[in-house]
Every structure is written in structure tokens, then in C-alpha cells.
Amino acid sequence: MYKYVKEYLEILRKANEAFNNNIKVKLFWNDEPMDREGFRKEFLMALDRRINLKGNVPITKKWDDTYQTHLLRDKRRLEDIGKRISVYQFETEIVRKRFSHLLSSYNDF
């Protein structure tokens, strides 16, 4: 959408001018027209994304896609336990610590 900050500031100036004239703004051709509040919300989300992208903040384990997938599988296993389906292991350490007492044993048969 823009390459340099001054181009983005020009977009903001034009949007502000449009809002002062009670005109709604579209950021992309397929967007819904936004009023000042909708534009502000979109601006803050974009600013947050940009700061996080440029901030060199390391992604912690809990935000990693693989870890989230393991948590989802563990969630499903806990639901299976609620349905009285045998579950023998969990993938994540945190779920293992809290719910290991619910795991089935291979000697149960």
C-alpha cells in the first residue's frame, strides 16, 4: 500500500480531511467504507503489527504455531477423556503437569 512513511502520512492526512467533510474512507478497493472510529481501529491494529514486526521482539514458545497445534491436540484429548475415551499421553508439558492423573494406563485392559 505504501513504501515510505511520508506516503503513509499523506494517506492519513487525506483520510482526516475526508472525515472532516463527513466522507467515509476505503483503504482498499474491496473494503467497506469506514467512519473515523473504524479507521482509527484499523490504524491502531496496523501500527501494532508494524511495531511488532520492526521491534525484533522474539516470538515466545506459546505463540509458536507448533506449540499451538500441540495445545489444540491436548485440548481434544481432554475432551476425549470427558467422553470416556482412553488417552495415553499429552504433548505439552503444561497439560502433562496438570492432567497427567487423567491418563489411562496400558495395564487397564
**What does the pLDDT average to over 51-63?**
72
Q: Which residue has the higher pLDDT, 62 or 102?
A: 102
Q: Is the pLDDT of residue 3 over 90?
A: no
3-state class (DSSP) for residue 64: coil
User: What are the residue ranges spanned by the domains of the chain?
Assistant: 5-54, 62-108
- Going by the DSSP 8-state scheme, the letter that residue 107 receives in this structure is G
Do 95 and 74 meet the contact criterion of CB atoms below 8 Å apart? yes
- Going by the DSSP 8-state scheme, the letter that residue 21 receives in this structure is T
Please report how many Cα atoms fall inside a 13 Å half-sphere around the Cα of residue 48, on the Cβ side: 6
- pLDDT one-digit tens code per residue, 76-98: 999 999 999 999 999 999 999 99
pLDDT band at 1 (very low <50, low <70, confident <90, very high): low
